[in-house]
Amino acid sequence: MSLDNAVWMLTALAAVVVLLTRMRLSSEHAQSGHAAIPLGIVNAHTVLGVIALAVWIYYLTSPAGATGAIALVVWWLEVLVGILILARWFSRPGKHAAEATGDSWAEGPALSILGHVGMLLGIGFFTWIVLADKLSG
């Protein structure tokens, strides 16, 4: 498998994480037992993810150093907001009114940890790709 193919597969996984995070955080507002994440933060997380994906895909289709740098800045902001949301979940366990209801995705934060740590590692890989100019583009 070429490095370019690996980057495209990780880009697709990043898109899935952005979409699933939005779906999960949006649905949690209607459920009891979840840490209250303000909708503005959820929206910012989604918007950053969509912008990061768009700029990153543009970079992958026509590699230019400046575009890659812009994409990385937005990706790192996206990861930072995601990690802060995850940290908020862990730092406010007493704020849960009751056990979570209707969360058929997973019990507890395991899925969120997997997604956000995976994104952190993936964006670290994307950073290496851009800084080392590894795309064959």
Asked if the structure places residue 39 within a domain, the reply is yes
* CATH assignment at residue 78: 1.20.120
Asked if the structure places residue 136 within a domain, the reply is no
Contact 86, 116 (CB under 8 A): yes
How does pLDDT run across 38-91, given as a tens digit for each residue? Answer: 788 888 999 999 999 999 999 999 888 799 999 999 999 999 998 888 888 777
Asked if the structure places residue 53 within a domain, the reply is yes
| Dist CA 39 CA 55 (whole Å) | 24
| Global model pTM greater than 0.85 | no
Asked if the structure places residue 137 within a domain, the reply is no
Asked if the structure places residue 101 within a domain, the reply is no
Question: Which residue bears the tokens 């990706």?
Answer: 75
Kindly write down the DSSP assignment for every residue of 18-66, as one continuous string. Answer: HHHHHHHHHHHTTSSSS----HHHHHHHHHHHHHHHHHHHHHHHS--HH
What is the number of domains present in the chain?
1
Asked if the structure places residue 19 within a domain, the reply is yes
| Dist CA 115 CA 86 (whole Å) | 10
Q: What range does the domain containing 87 cover?
A: 3-93+106-131
